[in-house]
Amino acid sequence: MLKRIVYGSFFISIFYFISYFFSSELRALISNGGFWSYLHVLMSSILTLGIFIIVVLFFRYLFVDPEQNQKK
């Protein structure tokens, strides 16, 4: 359940920024302030954190032995 929420919010933030880059009305709405500016900060935080986690997991995959976590 938690994975679904995390992945869903990450993909929603990706969709948000794709629409942000292509919509001048959305940019104007955010520059006015209020709720939309807070939503923009939240979405950028989710996107930044998600990209950071992907990079960390990629490096963990490269450098950590997969049998290290198994008990013998």
Q: Render pLDDT for 28-50 as a digit per residue (tens, 0 to 9).
A: 999 988 899 999 999 999 999 99
Mean pLDDT of the chain: 88
Residue with tokens 């990629």: 58
The structural domains of the chain, with segments of one domain joined by +, span 2-63
**Two structure tokens written together for 23:** 């919509």
Higher pLDDT, 68 or 5: 5
> Closest Cα to residue 17, out of 5, 26, 4?
26
pLDDT at 65 over 80: no
Q: Are the C-beta atoms of residues 36 and 30 closer than 8 Å to each other?
A: yes
What is the pTM for the complete model shown? 0.77
